[in-house]
A and B are shown apart, each in its own frame.
Chain A
Amino acid sequence: MATPISLKATGRSKRRLAMNKAAEGGAILAALVAVGVLVLLVGSVFQKALPALNWDLFVKGQAVFGETGGGIAPAFVGTIMLVLIATAMAVPIGVLVALYVSEFASKQIASQTRLWLDVLNGFPSIVIGIFVFELLVQTKLPILGIGHHQSAWAGGFALAILMVPLIARTAMEVLALVPASLREASYALGVSKWRTVLSVVLPSALGGIVTGTTLAVARAAGETAPLLFTCSIFGQVVNTDPSNSVASVPVVIFEYSESPDKNLNAQAWAAAFVLITFVLLTTLLARLVLDRSRRKLGAAA
């Protein structure tokens, strides 16, 4: 009669299993911590924003000193302007760079371009602000009348520099997924290369390019650092002239967060609520669409 074999781990095996359990527990804990931080962050923004969230926030300027109420309408208008200017500059450049890499460049040049786009993406945004400050604000020769002082043009330009690598990188990725058979079909019909790109390649990659742009817009809308030196000295009324400095949501949050005035602190939270809602929703939406268009192109290949 053999004694029944125990399936209980003992000695060394027990230690090994315990170590395994500990490692797994650690991994789960880490993920929980990260998600927990996000929940806490968004939760406190929601909670602290409620008192100052009202219609006035969107339609009024800053209250006269000593009075409560008021809003940050100029900042909303300003941010929309800045992002529009930046998008108008960055989208054509970003898409063209991506087309150059996917249609014309040799492998070597393509990987070099990718490398330098990543380097540009890695530049601290505050340094980009300083660059635009030196180029357009502090300059001795006024370029197109926008030199010598801060302006929405300058701020938008700084944001555009941030957006180009983001747009170009996503566009490249999607363009590389466009199946060669589509191009070949077009060539077989006698269509020239540039027409093929414009009427076959670009339309099938359009979804990815649009979402890449959306992600870049979400990033640009929340950037403060590039604006500090280029577009941060503004009045308290709505300004729509891009050759002057405009208020913007991130800069206003930055200033109000350091203000001793409780009313302004509350408005900073409300502005943060609006900003975070916009950024998170657009990011989420863009990622979903990007995943779908990746799958679609991937499946077709």
Chain B
Amino acid sequence: MEASAPPEILPRTRRPLDRVGEKVFYGLTAFAALLTLAIIAAIIWKVIDGAWPAIHTFGISFVWNQTWNPVTEMFGARVFIIGTLVTSFGALLLATPISIAIGLFLSELAPSAIKGPIGALIQMLAAVPSVVIGLWGIFVLGPFMLQHVEPPLHDYLGWIPIFGGTPQQAGVLPAIAVLTIMIIPITSSICRELFTSVPRDVKEASIGLGATRWEMIRGVVFPYVKAGIVAAITLGLGRALGEAIAVTQVIGNSLRDFPVSLFGQGNTLASQLAGSYQSAPTNIELESLVYLGLILLVITFITNLTAQRIVHRFEKQHAGAR
């Protein structure tokens, strides 16, 4: 970006080829940049366009309508929106402390010999395709949670309604677990970068004043990167909201009311879309599905834009500090 402009001297020696080449080259790159913007615009336009008949039929009340009934052709998104929010925020609740802890381990604690390998292994987790995580969720994680996680939760915490139901293999809790696994690599690697960006002198100053490592982290590191951590979590949230495949494999895709108990089966916007690709829906059901996609797009769009804004502000704020 900092490239200096070519000197504009000796115009006579410029061959015509160069003048044309320059223009063509500029045109091509600018066209590609515009094309990506056009694709973003086209995605938004096409999804609205595809959902239009359903928007027209059900209006905005689609968002909070409960039923999803292909027989009576009454459709509403409430159960899916609740499911998306519950699973995503549940996963965030678990993933945030773990990610911050991993970030701290990799930036402050780990000896440099194991820093690289462990960081790389956690990055590998991000590369595992979601369909493989879902497969593992069906055959390994689901049964494991059914036998070893849900019964104790039910026995000791069953008086809390969210742990009240009967444990079953597919359900909301495995979906939350799967999403947690998928968010951790993203948020933890951002956290690690944030923690490493804290200037050494402020950290050393706090140690020099006699703080323990934990007090240094709480008193100096966290306040310094607070905004960045919020952005990291928001980016993780964006990922969790949009995840379709792994969730649809483990959540049970139920069309009934979203369960109070985390052991019950549920559904999310993305998993309902992924789950109904093979059914040959009628027009209005298909359009309602696209409407679900539109709601998902709006939610993730806002989430990601917010995250980017925070990152932007954070980078500006700390650009001078280093």
Contacts and interface: CB of A to CB of B under 8 A. Distances in A.
A187 B184 CA distance: 46
A123 B125 contact: no
A120 B132 CA distance: 24
B140 A44 contact: yes
Nearest to A183: B3
Given A31-B102, A195-B18, A127 B214 contact: no
A194 B274 CA distance: 45
B225 to A, nearest CB: 15
Contacts of A263: none
Interface of B is mostly: helix
Given A116-B37, A118-B304, A126-B293, A228 B25 contact: no
B105 A127 contact: no
A180 B4 contact: yes
Contacts of B136: 41, 44-45
A250 interface: yes
B215 interface: yes
B273 A130 contact: yes
A284 interface: yes
B255 to A, nearest CB: 17
Interface in B109-139: 109-110, 118, 120-125, 127-136, 138-139
Contacts of B118: 31, 35
Given A131-B46, A134-B47, A124 B304 contact: no
B129 A284 contact: no
Given A116-B36, A134-B50, A280 B124 contact: yes
A168 B109 CA distance: 34
Interface stretch (B27-35, B73-81, B158-166): B27-35
A96 B7 CA distance: 23
Nearest to A19: B214
A197 interface: yes
Task: Give the bracket for the number of chain A residues in contact with chain B.
Answer: 35 or more
B300 interface: yes
Contacts of A229: 277
Interface in A193-234: 193-198, 218-219, 221-225, 228-229, 232-233
A272 B213 contact: no
A297 interface: no
B238 A135 contact: no
Interface in A155-201: 161, 164-165, 168, 176, 180, 183-184, 187, 190, 192-198
Interface stretch (A20-28, A61-69, A237-245): A20-28
A34 B135 contact: no
Nearest to B241: A124
A34 to B, nearest CB: 5
Contacts of A134: 46-47, 49-50, 290
Contacts, number: 288
B13 interface: yes
B36 A280 contact: no
B242 A269 contact: no
A103 B101 contact: no
Contacts of A118: 304, 308
A104 B131 contact: no
B300 A194 contact: no
Given A180-B2, A194-B21, A276-B132, 17 more contacts: A28-B109, A40-B140, A41-B132, A41-B136, A41-B181, A100-B30, A119-B301, A120-B40, A126-B244, A126-B274, A134-B50, A222-B129, A222-B130, A224-B129, A228-B277, A257-B131, A287-B123
20 contacts: A27-B102, A30-B105, A31-B106, A34-B184, A35-B118, A96-B32, A97-B29, A99-B29, A105-B33, A123-B300, A123-B301, A124-B296, A124-B297, A126-B242, A127-B47, A180-B4, A193-B6, A224-B131, A253-B131, A287-B123
Interface of B: 1-4, 6-7, 10, 13-14, 18, 21-22, 24-26, 28-33, 35-37, 39-40, 42-43, 46-47, 49-50, 97-99, 101-102, 104-106, 108-110, 118, 120-125, 127-136, 138-140, 181, 184-185, 188, 212-215, 217, 235, 238, 241-245, 249, 270, 273-274, 277-278, 289-290, 293, 296-297, 300-301, 303-305, 307-308, 312
